[in-house]
Amino acid sequence: EVQLLESGGGLVQPGGSLRLSCAASGFTFSSYSMIWVRQAPGKGLEWVSEISAGGGGTYYANSVKGRFTISRDNSKNTLYLQMNSLRDEDTAVYYCAKGLMGATTNWGQGTLVTVSS
Amino acid sequence: DIVMTQTPLSSPVTLGQPASISCRSSQSLVFSDGNTYLSWLQQRPGQPPRLLIYKISNRFSGVPDRFSGSGAGTDFTLKISRVEAEDVGVYYCMQATQFPYTFGQGTKLEIK
């Protein structure tokens, strides 16, 4: 059974940094692209970033480009999202998802990031 | 960026009756490999999203056959043949043909 478990969320001040992790199990992690999607309170879904299976390709939403960095450690079956220069509008639940066939086939439960002074 | 527009934004439906959600993209979603990377997701209250349909019309594992997807190019539809109580939630279309991937605004399905 595919399992994705996000961690690392919390309260951070504007301008601060946070690193999210997503521990994967139940599938061959190194064979799949991985995706971060966020959802602000009461709002819809926003695609944040994607990383290719081997880690050589990374892609970002314009709203986070230059501030967020996606990475992965295939030896640890873990996906990361380093978030710097955080803004109020980055407040959201952050989900990691497994990518396949141009879709997000499995999702974690999410971790809440709150940016506030 | 490709803009995804869903209609309606809210859909009150009677149990056992059909429901339909439309999703329109601002440009063609046909990728250079010939595939169209349009998917549909369901988000029940308090839950993470769940994949229902990928590449326009392919049901994901475990998805009931009352859910179906159709369309081509820029116009796509999700249909539920007979709505059940467990179908309440918000439905999103998503395009993965071009970065940045984008979602529709979401359609809230509720029971009358």
Full DSSP string of B15-83: TTS-EEEEEEESS--B-TTS-B-EEEEEE-TTS--EEEEETTTEEPTT--TTEEEEEETTEEEEEESS-
**pLDDT tens-place string over residues B60-80:** 999 999 999 999 999 999 999
* Full pLDDT tens readout for chain A, 117 residues: 999 999 999 999 999 999 999 999 999 999 999 999 999 999 999 999 999 999 999 999 999 999 999 999 999 999 999 999 999 999 999 999 999 888 999 999 999 999 999
Q: What is the Cα–Cα distance from A18 to A85, expressed in whole angstroms?
A: 9
Nearest residue to A3 (alpha-carbon basis) of A82, A71, A79: A79
CB contact (8 A) between residue B51 and residue A50? no
Mind telling me how many Å the CA of B11 is from chain A's nearest CA?
16
Residue with tokens 């796509």, as numbered in its chain: B76
* Confidence (pLDDT) at B104: 98
* Confidence (pLDDT) at A64: 98
Dihedrals phi, psi of A89, to nearest 5 degrees = -75, 0
Mind telling me how many Å the CA of A43 is from chain B's nearest CA?
9
